[in-house]
Amino acid sequence: MWYNNRAVKFVTVAIFWKVVVLMKVGANSLERRSLLSVAEALGLMISFGSLIATIIFGVLTAVKNDKKNNRPL
């Protein structure tokens, strides 16, 4: 085999909310090629940014609604 079984990590990557790819990544690989294409890497970055923005805006909305509902009458 071209890789050492003890040095292999399994990485799960979600791309464009549709495809989940299970890749074997060798820690001591001699190959110097990219694991993701540029389009896949950009899609992954945009998805992660969207997730972070959704979480932040969700927390802000929850705090705003909590303050609105706790007003004294």
Segment 16-52, tens digit of pLDDT: 445 555 666 666 666 666 677 888 889 999 999 999 9
Q: Minimum mean pLDDT among 8-22, 34-48, 59-73: which range?
A: 8-22
Q: What is the CA radius of gyration of the chain?
A: 21
Q: Which two tokens stand for residue 24?
A: 């074997």
Is there a contact between 23 and 36 (Cβ–Cβ < 8 Å)?
no
Q: Which two tokens stand for residue 8?
A: 């292999």
| Residue 20 confidence (pLDDT) | 56
pTM beyond 0.75: the answer is no
Q: Which two tokens stand for residue 12?
A: 């799960």
